[in-house]
Amino acid sequence: MAAVAERIFSGVQPTGNLHLGNYLGAIKRFVDLQKGRECIYCVVDLHAITIWQEPEDLKRHIREVTAAFIACGIDPKANIVFNQSQVSGHAELAWVLNCVARMGWLNRMTQFKEKAGKDRENASVGLFAYPTLMAADILLYRATHVPVGEDQKQHLELTRDIAQKFNNDYARTIAANGHEDGYFPMTEPLIAGPATRVMSLRDGSKKMSKSDASDNSRINLADDADAIATKVRKAKTDPEPLPSELEGLKGRPEADNLVGIFAALSDGAKEDVLRDFGGAQFSAFKAALVELAVEKLGPIGGEMKRLMDDPASIDAILSDGADRARVIADQTIRDVKDIIGLVRG
């Protein structure tokens, strides 16, 4: 079987507090990419449990990410939307890839170091192996492109290394099984646009994150208009007016961040924003940003709430998506077993 021409895969963890960074860096781009392409969007619940999750919260968060996908405009009929744990191929392929990836490669992963912190001995084995499960997600569908935020770049590079080593190690049986040009593709990350790394509203040197203790550091997708307005008004800035050129944002991380957010929300570039607001005070710029953010995000939060009131419909979407994902995944697992020499009846 030849690899498909173009297949998009991406995932979001159901760990609560979906925020503007997840939207601009990932989900909004999933929506833009869906036109005319085969897209698979996954709620990666097996990744979430690499860190402790209360079971009731996990269930709610799986449905919440699904609701966010749909509220943002992903069509679950035209694309495949499902949660990872319903397709056993993810865990199966992850095991095979754990045997391909090298300890040294995983030891270099900066996200593990950040998440494990000082108490590494107490981190779960799953947290360490997290990137091989991510490689399995992508390679299970032999995806060619993966839209993500900047923070996932290293994991995507690892995915290519794993795919390359698998293709090399098993080159003979891959060819014997009729696959020309290797089995797994060299997946391309899609990291583009003005908001690939949205920063905290309270500290321009820190990434906007689900786990930041301060809720004012992020705009949540579920926030209402009042919360959005308050958070934007409270966002940290500096005393200078906005510059007219990109160059003038250097060394001004908070200004750079707000301009990037404005650009991404208005489907423009930072240059466009500076052309309109160069010389303006932050008070005026923030008022315009509040208006834009409420206009773009308000309906998403409302629609998420409406969808969350009917969990059975969300579960039906996930179940249908999982059925369709399994068709592709099962074929890959069969191929991989044949390639590596596992007997199947």
Residue 42: exposed, middle, or buried by beta-carbon count in 10 A (0-12, 13-18, 19+)? buried
User: What is the Cα–Cα distance from 66 to 64, expressed in whole angstroms?
Assistant: 5
Residue 241 beta carbon to ligand TYM: minimum distance, rounded to whole angstroms = 26
Stretch binding ligand TYM (CB under 6 A), from 17-25, 72-80, 263-271, 287-295: 17-25
Instruction: Please give the structure tokens belonging to residue 96.
Output: 């095979």
| Alpha carbon distance 245, 33 (integer Å) | 30
Residue whose CB is less far from ligand TYM, 151 or 188: 151
Q: Is 6 in the site for ligand TYM (CB under 6 A)?
A: no
**Which of 8, 40, 44, 307 lies at the binding interface for ligand TYM (CB under 6 A)?**
44
Smallest gap from Cβ 239 to ligand TYM, in A, equals 25
Output the smallest distance, CB 249 to ligand TYM, in A. 17
Q: How far apart are the first and last CA of the chain?
A: 21
Q: Is residue 286 within the footprint of ligand TYM (CB under 6 A)?
A: no
Which of 7, 8, 16, 22 binds ligand TYM (CB under 6 A)? It is 22
Residue 137 and residue 84 in contact, taking contact as beta carbons nearer than 8 Å: yes
The token pair that represents 230 in the structure block: 């308050």
Residue type, 208: M
Query: Is residue 343 classed as helix, strand or coil in its secondary structure?
Result: coil
Closest CA to 136 of 153, 154, 158: 158
Q: Which two tokens stand for residue 320?
A: 């249908």
Distance CA 74, CA 30 (A): 7
| Residue from the set 47, 61, 231, 296 that interacts with ligand TYM by CB under 6 A | 47
Shortest CB 16 distance to ligand TYM, Å: 10
Give the type of residue at 127.
Answer: L
3-state helix, strand, coil in the chain (%, to 5): 60, 10, 35
CB distance 157 to 135 below 8 Å:
no
Between residue 70 and residue 129, which ones bind ligand TYM under the rule CB under 6 A?
none
For residues 26 and 129, which CB has a smaller minimum distance to ligand TYM in the complex? 26
Residue nearest to ligand TYM (CB): 25
Spatial separation of the C-alpha atoms in residues 268 and 266, rounded to whole Å = 5
Q: Token match 């924003």: residue?
A: 273
232's tokens = 């934007």
| 38-43 and 80-83 strand pairing | parallel
Q: What does the per-residue mask of binding to ligand TYM show for 129-158, with x meaning CB under 6 A?
A: -----x--xx-------x-xx-xx--x---
Measured at the alpha carbon of residue 14, what is the angle toward residues 8 and 19, in degrees to the nearest 5?
85
User: Would you say 215 or 240 has its CB closer to ligand TYM?
Assistant: 215
Active site residues: 115, 207, 210
* Residues near ligand TYM (CB under 6 A), total: 25
Under the binding rule (CB under 6 A), the answer on residue 193 touching ligand TYM is no
List the interface residues with ligand TYM, window 195-234 (CB under 6 A): 196-198, 207-208
Given the complex with ligand TYM, which of 132 and 287 has the nearer CB atom? Answer: 132
> Under the criterion CB under 6 A, does residue 12 sit at the interface with ligand TYM?
yes
Contacting ligand TYM (CB under 6 A), which of 7, 8, 25, 201? 25
Give contact residues for ligand TYM (rule: CB under 6 A): 9-13, 21-22, 25-26, 44, 47, 134, 137-138, 146, 148-149, 151-152, 155, 196-198, 207-208
